[in-house]
Amino acid sequence: MTEIRAVLGHPAALLAWLPLLIGLQGVPHTGAFRTLFLLLGIGHTIWLARSLKRPLPGLHGGGERTAFWLLTAWLVLQSAVLAHEPLLSLRTLAGDWGKLLLMAALGWWLARVLPSTRWLVVALFCGAFLHVLTTLGLQPVSLATGNGIVYRRSLLADYALTSPFTTTAFVWLLADAAGRLWHGRGLFPWSATTSAVLALMALAAEALLQAKSGQVLTVVLIAVACLALLRHPRLGRPWSIGMAAATVIVVGLLVMMGGSRWFGLGQSFDKAWREPIPVQVVVTDNVPMAAGINHSLYMRAVRARVGIEGIAEHPWGLGFDPDVFSRYVKERFGIPQAISSSNSGLIDFTLASGVVGLCLLLILAASLMRCGWRAFVAGRPEGAALALLVLHHLGRYALDGTLGGSRLTGTALAIGALWALSVMEKREGL
């Protein structure tokens, strides 16, 4: 019994369940495993809390909590009073938002009850890096069978699901590098060389996946991290030159690797916003394109246009529902079926929850990034991870319609943990 207590009490015990709880979110046919690991996580957290022999660390801040509860209150009020189908909206809100609350709370309490949080950060990173390994690991399997290099998928899923994880892994390593440069202390217990190798692996996986949103966000995150480091009192102009050079190199490499996916950018957007909307674009992906038009960019632009016009028509929102875009399109065009998303989670969220919901969501994101930045400047690399992670997923949510449901729950757990680490009073071993 003493040995079991010692094992469960060691922070490394998180590696038995937390990486898989994070990494399997959204992966098809893994629902039972996700539930199992969630129950293990809740049980482990409760056991750690009951075994705690010291008072919980104090907390500071509070603006983020206010923003979070204001957003939650608005979603409940809007679903109950303003939604077109209140019962459907409330039922969906209880399920989807309830999962986010549960996962964020699990991360929050884990950070507070663990005797040392270094292993918590490692376990969260491993959950995202799992998809880097499955993307790169697919290549030798494919080459061995004579199929050549495989793009836009991994051993677990396609690029739409995998890319958010690979970019998240890169975010963790970017925050680790920022901590080492600014404070001489990184997030992870391994060397800077190891982190650099892992970062190159994450970039290679992102290049193989060829996700436009992942490529854009990777460049933005590098630029933001470098700009933030220029605020350091001992870093000056050489870093600005290095930042510009690194960003240009990364842009060139990523665009070169997926260059064929960027052709016809201007023509595609111009056609999408100026010409009448073809109904088939909001019904299916199988729409023939004229020469010089980028299919993916055109479809995204038209669907974004439809969603924005829907927001202008319903500024208070239609009610919380993952399929709100489909519901709006069927009503507007009088068709029996439609695609489920505008390809932008942010547009879908605003169409569902109204302009007020969008403003509160952006305020929450801004307050979390501000909290992370303050914690980072005060000497905590975890703060950089919080700020960059929120920025990444806000950008991803704006560019992709694939982050709803279970795929967002793993992010909620990581943000909850990093939020707690950023506002807790410092203690030994943190």
DSSP string across 238-267: HHHHHHHHHHHHHHHHHHHHTGGGGTTHHH
Vertex 47, ends 46 and 52: CA angle to 5°?
100
* Distance (Å, whole) CA 172 – CA 48: 25
Which residue's entry shows tokens 């930042």?
A: 243
Q: Are 24 and 33 in contact (CB under 8 A)?
A: yes
* Distance (Å, whole) CA 427 – CA 420: 13
| Domains of the chain: total | 1
Q: Are 271 and 239 in contact (CB under 8 A)?
A: no
Q: Can you give the pLDDT at residue 253?
A: 61
The size of the chain, in residues, is: 430
**pTM of this prediction?**
0.91
* Distance (Å, whole) CA 421 – CA 384: 11
Q: Are 47 and 6 in contact (CB under 8 A)?
A: no
Residue 164 lies in a domain: yes
Q: Can you give the pLDDT at residue 403?
A: 46
Residue 248 lies in a domain: yes
Residue 275 lies in a domain: no
Count of C-beta atoms within a 10 Å radius of residue 209: 27
Q: Are 394 and 365 in contact (CB under 8 A)?
A: yes
User: Given its phi and psi angles, is residue 294 left (phi above 0), alpha (psi -120 to 50 degrees) or beta?
Assistant: beta
Residue 325 lies in a domain: no
Q: Which domain holds residue 81?
A: 2-264+342-423
Residue 311 lies in a domain: no
Q: Are 70 and 360 in contact (CB under 8 A)?
A: yes
* Distance (Å, whole) CA 399 – CA 174: 21
Residue 363 lies in a domain: yes
* Distance (Å, whole) CA 181 – CA 242: 14
Q: Are 166 and 128 in contact (CB under 8 A)?
A: yes
Q: Can you give the pLDDT at residue 106?
A: 96
Helices 86-113 and 31-50 cross at an angle (nearest 10°) of: 50
Q: Can you give the pLDDT at residue 326?
A: 92
* Distance (Å, whole) CA 45 – CA 316: 39
Residue 210 lies in a domain: yes
**What radius of gyration do the chain's Cα atoms show?**
22
Which residue's entry shows tokens 């992906």?
A: 285
Q: Are 168 and 411 in contact (CB under 8 A)?
A: yes
Residue 76 lies in a domain: yes
Backbone angles phi, psi at 170, to 5 degrees: -65, -35
Q: Can you give the pLDDT at residue 9?
A: 63
Max distance between CA atoms of the chain, in angstroms, equals 72
Count of C-beta atoms within a 10 Å radius of residue 224: 17
- Work out the end-to-end distance of the chain between its first and last CA atoms, rounded to an integer number of angstroms: 27
User: Per-residue confidence of the chain (430 residues) as pLDDT tens digits?
Assistant: 565 666 566 677 899 999 999 999 988 889 899 999 999 999 999 998 888 877 777 677 678 999 999 999 999 999 999 999 999 999 999 988 989 999 999 999 999 998 878 899 999 999 999 999 999 999 999 999 888 899 999 999 998 889 999 999 999 999 999 999 888 899 999 999 999 999 999 999 998 998 888 888 888 888 788 777 777 666 655 655 566 566 656 655 655 555 555 566 778 877 888 888 888 888 888 878 777 777 788 888 899 999 999 999 999 999 998 889 999 999 999 998 898 889 899 999 999 999 999 999 999 999 999 999 999 999 899 999 999 999 999 999 998 865 455 667 889 999 999 999 999 876 544 4
What is the DSSP secondary structure assignment for residue 80, as one 8-state letter?
I
3-class state of residue 17 by DSSP: coil
